[in-house]
Amino acid sequence: MFHGKINKMVEIVRKLSMDELLEDQSIFLLGPRQTGKTTYLRRQLKGIAISFNLLDAKTYREFLRHPERLEERVRPILKDTTEKTIIVIDEVQRVPEVLAAVQNILTDFPNARFILTGSSARKLHRDKNINLLGGRAARVLFHGLTTDEIADTNLTIEDQVQWGTLPSVLLAKNRALLLDSYVDLYLKEEIVAEAITRKLADFERFLETSALCQGQQVVFSKIASDMGIDQKTCRSWFQVLEDTLVGHLLPCFDGTERRKAVSSAKFYFFDPGIANALLGRLSLRKGTPEYGVALETLVHENLRAKIDSTRNKAKLSYWRSVDHYEVDFVVQHRSGVAAIEVKGTETLSKSDFRGLRALADEEIPSLKKIIVCHESMRRETSDGVLVLPVAEFFRDLWSGAIF
């Protein structure tokens, strides 16, 4: 398993397991840069026969010119064994043409299992000529460190809200410097290398604007007008953030009848630290709107990670009615619906319950209503709203008590 050190005292163990999936198929392991995919594979998986890292300049140039070289390297290994054999290709989106060779190998060698990591799904999704292995590879999303994975460390919720979930940042002495470097690395390596846009100054300004949109409805026309760009460009740039796995557009829950829901999505960066770095927020204070948005982002990412890790096909959305009632998160799962409101304060007001109670009026079957906040004790209101301190909410989430 992947082990990292915090203050050289506490271990972090990644809890994602792919053993069951690898029994029957290969895997696309997709996640943002520096979430720890390569380290996880190296330390958790045993029996990797050979690996290729396409971030390595020499390997990249070789496979870019001769993608068939993959077969030349791998076939001799597979010919000598009938046992399950794992081959890893890191950052496969850099040379997606190698997927044709992967397909050939999988056809000829049923014992072969590929793990294909990527920090961008853009080329894999957009190019119709790219071979996606015809369903022979499961798609697994790899997230930053979850609250469950760092629960036994000396990190606090405030650390996670301020600095995010990237292992390299959380383990660093100078976290602010690492976050700034990450944003710069993303701009240079993901945007420039993939030739997504030549308007780098405008796109950098857009990143700051998108950070201001964190946890808010995205109105493309307004953002485009404010930035002085056309609406089509604005939409495409948000799509870039989704394709490169650093942003997520959260759809609106439309399962209400009494109150019509809006159609706009909300936007989140995958990591609260990223938005904080883009906006220069290096010292959040509990109870402020900025802290509340960052806490909401941490909840959002843990909800996504929980859904992805259990592969239970739960659906994540938010709810906002046209008459301005809102709930931060709605999780539709096998046993019902969980409605979750996040407040970064220690004292709740009557208005904080407004959205949950409006959603309860819709008489949705098996609706669980939750407010996550910094109150000191768990409690339940007379109309069934469960008020959970932040740490207790995360414990309940990862124990399966929420869904």
Residue 395: closest CA among 275, 306, 308? 306
Phi and psi torsions of 287, nearest 5°: 95, -10
What are the start-end ranges of the H helices in 342-389?
354-360
Name 137's bridge partners. Answer: 26
Position 349 pLDDT exceeds 60: yes
Query: What is the b/e burial string over 255-288, where b = at least 16 CB atoms within 10 angstroms of the residue's CB?
Result: ebeebebbeebbbbbbbbbbbbbbeebeebeeee
164 conformational bin, left if phi > 0, alpha if psi -120 to 50, beta if neither: left
Query: Judging by DSSP bridges, how do beta strands 48-53 and 3-6 pair with one another?
Result: unpaired
Position 275 pLDDT exceeds 50: yes
Q: Helices 220-227 and 200-212 meet at what angle, rounded to 10?
A: 130
How far apart are the C-alpha atoms of 341 and 349, rounded to whole Å?
A: 13
Region 353-381: mean pLDDT is 98
How far apart are the C-alpha atoms of 265 and 268, rounded to whole Å?
A: 10
Position 315 pLDDT exceeds 50: yes
Query: Is residue 250 within a helix (H) or strand (E), and if so which, with residue range?
Result: strand 247-250
Q: What is the pLDDT of residue 9?
A: 46
The reported pTM is 0.93
Q: What is the pLDDT of residue 36?
A: 94
Region 374-379: mean pLDDT is 97
Q: What is the pLDDT of residue 186?
A: 73
Confidence class of residue 154 from pLDDT cuts 50, 70 and 90?
confident
Q: What is the pLDDT of residue 42?
A: 87
The CA-based angle 156-337-140, given to 5 degrees, is 65
Name 316's bridge partners. Answer: 331
CA atoms within 13 A on the CB side of 161: 23
Q: What is the pLDDT of residue 156?
A: 83
Region 115-126: mean pLDDT is 85
Q: What is the pLDDT of residue 23?
A: 92
Confidence class of residue 123 from pLDDT cuts 50, 70 and 90?
confident
Q: What is the pLDDT of residue 10?
A: 53
For 369, the 3-state DSSP assignment is strand
Confidence class of residue 109 from pLDDT cuts 50, 70 and 90?
very high
Position 379 pLDDT exceeds 70: yes
Q: What is the pLDDT of residue 13?
A: 85
Position 193 pLDDT exceeds 50: yes
CATH ID of 17-141, from 3.40.50.300, 1.10.10.10, 1.10.8.60, 3.90.1150.10 = 3.40.50.300
Position 3, amino acid: H
How far apart are the C-alpha atoms of 304 and 157, rounded to whole Å?
A: 18
Give residue-wise pLDDT tens across range 27-50: 999 999 999 999 999 887 777 889
Position 228 pLDDT exceeds 80: yes
- Residue whose tokens read 């290709």: 89
Position 368, amino acid: K
How far apart are the C-alpha atoms of 48 and 39, rounded to whole Å?
A: 13
% pLDDT > 70, the chain: 93
Position 3 pLDDT exceeds 50: no
Those residues whose C-beta lies under 8 Å from the C-beta of residue 215, and which sit 6 or more positions away, are: 266, 267, 268, 293, 296, 297, 300, 328
Those residues whose C-beta lies under 8 Å from the C-beta of residue 146, and which sit 6 or more positions away, are: 15, 165, 301, 302, 305, 306, 398
Q: What is the pLDDT of residue 200?
A: 77
Q: Which tokens belong to 143? A: 């997230």
Rounded to the nearest integer, the mean pLDDT of the chain is 91
How far apart are the C-alpha atoms of 11 and 14, rounded to whole Å?
A: 10
Confidence class of residue 8 from pLDDT cuts 50, 70 and 90?
very low
Region 315-328: mean pLDDT is 98
Residue 357: closest CA among 339, 344, 375? 339
Region 230-244: mean pLDDT is 92
Q: What is the pLDDT of residue 312?
A: 79
Ranges 47-51, 159-163, 339-343, 376-380: which has the least confidence? 47-51
Domain locations in the chain as residue ranges? 17-141, 157-399
